[in-house]
Every structure is written in structure tokens, then in C-alpha cells.
Structure 1
Amino acid sequence: MKKERLKRMLDERTLVLIKPDAVKRGLIGVILERFERAGLKIVSCKLVLATREQLDGHFPKSEDWVCGMGHHTLEASKEYDFNPVDIFGTDDPFKIGLRIKEWNYNYLLSGSIMVLVLQGVHVIDTVRKFVGYTLPNKAMPGTIRGDFSVNASDLANTLKIACENLVHASSTQAEAEQEISNWFKPDEILS
């Protein structure tokens, strides 16, 4: 029992996408260095040009997820004092979420993505701490987004583009497993 628990802890994995804006800016090395300095192990890594099919497999398909993005955007519209109807033509959270999802597809299809699997104790939580808050303007200094990103959701919405935030990191074990299997074949991952 102890050995199984220890193995699960040591072998926890997460998926990280170093997105096109980070790749274009030459930040791959700096980002990887932060993970490696923390003792996390890179067990797979590849540079890809994503396809719509890969993104279909990456993003959740649930209506709740799409509506969630819409609701977050409606909350941001109050915080940053913009009218969502002026930008999205609607205040329906589902329709707004669909638009943001499409902007995210366009963002991830715009250039190369470094896809990697990291392994280590509490790797999911550790990586998310290093990455920082999803919206770069709210990310703390010392985090990847806080140190290297200059974007904000209200600016992105005004420009009708995704909020470029350099990286993606899985948020749960189930999400990590699903995302890893979407981007990698089992024989592409080393231990």
C-alpha cells in the first residue's frame, strides 16, 4: 500500500503547452528552466503545429465549460466596464463562450506549440503555481505569466482575440490524463 502510494506520488504527470506567443518570443528555455530547477522531470516533449482535431481533443466539449467562459467574460465586463454586447453582439454566456473558444483555437493554430509532459511529486499543483493566474494582468510577479506576459482579458476582448497567456497547464489529474493521451502516444512518454 505504501509503495503504491509512493509510486503514484512520484509518478504524477501533467501536460503543459508552451503556446505560440511564448515560442515566438523565444521563451521556451526560460520556461523549461523554471520547471527543471524545481526538480520536475520532463518525460516527453515535442514541438508541433496543432490541428483543429488535436484542439477538439484538448478542449472540453461540455456546454457547462463553454458557458463558464462566457460567465467569466461577463464578470470581467463589469470589472473592466465594457459592454459585452458591443464586442460579442450578445450577452448570452453560451454564445460568448463559443466565440472565446474559437479565438482560442485561432491562437493555438497561429504558430508552433511546445507540448510537454512533466512528472514529479504534486506536479499539477506545482506547475500551476509556477504558471500563475490565467489572466496575465492578474498573475503575480515571480510566475511565468506575471514575469513574461503583458496581455489582459479586456484588451483581448476589445481586439476580438484570445487572451495570450504563454502557457497552459492541466488543472486536475483527470484533465492531465485526458490531455496527455490527446497529445501523446504511450510510447512517446519516458519514465
Structure 2
Amino acid sequence: MERYFESTLLLLKPDAVRRSLVGEILRRVERTGLSIAALQMRQVDIHFARGHYATTDAQLAQMGRKTVAAFEEAGLDLRKEFNTEDPITLGRMIHEWNCDFLASGPLVAAVVQGYHCVKKLRSLAGPTMPLTAPPGTIRGDFASVSSLVASTRKAAVRNLVHASDNELDPDEPRREIAYWFDPRSINSVNPEPDLA
């Protein structure tokens, strides 16, 4: 049973802090039965932000494909806007916008723990693109911008939170926690016998 007990990273991005949503988001996380094992508010510089975001071709292509799909759906000319239709090249642009945004103001970083924590937290956050996030999710309830709007402004999608994903990279949650937190600052939560 303990093998299902996980730790993951949650970032409440500068838009969540600016909009005073930190308490509401953390309340939602805790109400699901997940626990906060470490918490800090900080301002990061662009170099730290670049180190956070993964840059494998698979991850860049995944980001770029979302923009390709949004432009196709809207009937807009992607090549005219960005001089490329290549998902990896678009992913690199989006990567830089994301880094700029992450460094644009204070944010809150948290280590979240619990059973099936990675999947549960990502479900609570909702899809990356707020436009498609269902009501009841953090992004569905508090964000509404689309990749189309953000891309035409050459800006990151304001989607409030980052939650580590282990689908493309099973090691991502562990690596991201190690990047953001000194292990001595993490108070591991023992799984409760009532299996919340």
C-alpha cells in the first residue's frame, strides 16, 4: 500500500498570488485528503525558471502541438504568426514565455503528499489549457485564457498552477521537488490509517 503514497510539486504561479487565490487553492488541495509537506513563497529569477521547465523534445513538442491545434481550430495561419509550424520550435518559444512568466512575480511552491498524489493533484488542477478545464477544477473555476489568446500575445497561458506530471517522465515529481526544496525542509506526512 505504501508504494502508492507519493510526493509531488505544486507551484501557485504569479497569477494565483496576484489574484489572492493561494488560500483557496491550498484549501482545495487539503480537502481532497492530500497533505502539504513543505511550503514557501519566493521570487525566482529567469535562470532558476529556465532550470525548472523541462526541455526534452517530447515535452517541447507536446507544448507546441497545443498551439498548433488552437490555431488550426481557429482557422488562423500559424506560419504567418510564428514563421514556423514545427511543434518543437513552437515549444521552445512557449518555454521562454513560461520562464518569463514564472519569474514575473512572487509564487508559492509546495510539496504535496498522499496516495496517488500526482494523478489526484493533476486532476484537481484540470487540463493545462483553462479554456477546456471543467468546472470544479482549479483552472476551470478560476482561469479562462486559451493558448490561442496567449500565443498571439507571445505570452504564457495564465493557468494559475503547475503540478508535476509523471506521464512523459516518471521521475519528474522527484526531480522538481529536489530542484525547489532542500530535503531537510520537507516534513514527510505519514499516511493516515483512515486512508483519506
Establish whether TM, by shorter chain, passes 0.5.
Answer: yes
TM-score w.r.t. length of structure 2: 0.89
2:175 corresponds, among 178, 186, 191, to: 178
Q: Summarize the alignment of residues 119-138 of structure 1 with structure 2, pairs less than 5 Å apart.
A: 119-138=113-132
2:107 corresponds, among 113, 118, 139, to: 113
**Structure-1 separation of matches of 2:51 and 2:43:** 15
Offset from partner CA, 1:43-91 (integer Å, 9 cap, x none): 0010111123322332113223223322222122111221112321222
2:149 is equivalent to residue 155 of structure 1: yes
What displacement does 1:105 show?
0.8
On the 8 A contact 1:47/1:115 being kept in 2, the answer is yes
SS in 1 for 2:38: strand
What displacement does 1:124 show?
0.8
Name the residue aligned to 1:8.
3
**Structure-2 separation of matches of 1:34 and 1:129:** 12
Aligned residues: percent identity? 41
Supply the AA of the counterpart residue of 1:185: D
Name the residue aligned to 2:77.
83
Q: How many residues align?
A: 185
Offset from partner CA, 1:96-135 (integer Å, 9 cap, x none): 1111111111111111110000000111111111100110
1 or 2, which has the higher helix percentage?
A: 1
Alpha-carbon RMSD:
1.4
2:24 is equivalent to residue 24 of structure 1: no
Does 161-170 or 61-70 show the bigger shift?
Answer: 61-70
TM-score w.r.t. length of structure 1: 0.91
Gaps of 5+ in 1: 1-5
Does 59-68 or 100-109 show the bigger shift?
Answer: 59-68
**Structure-2 separation of matches of 1:190 and 1:19:** 22
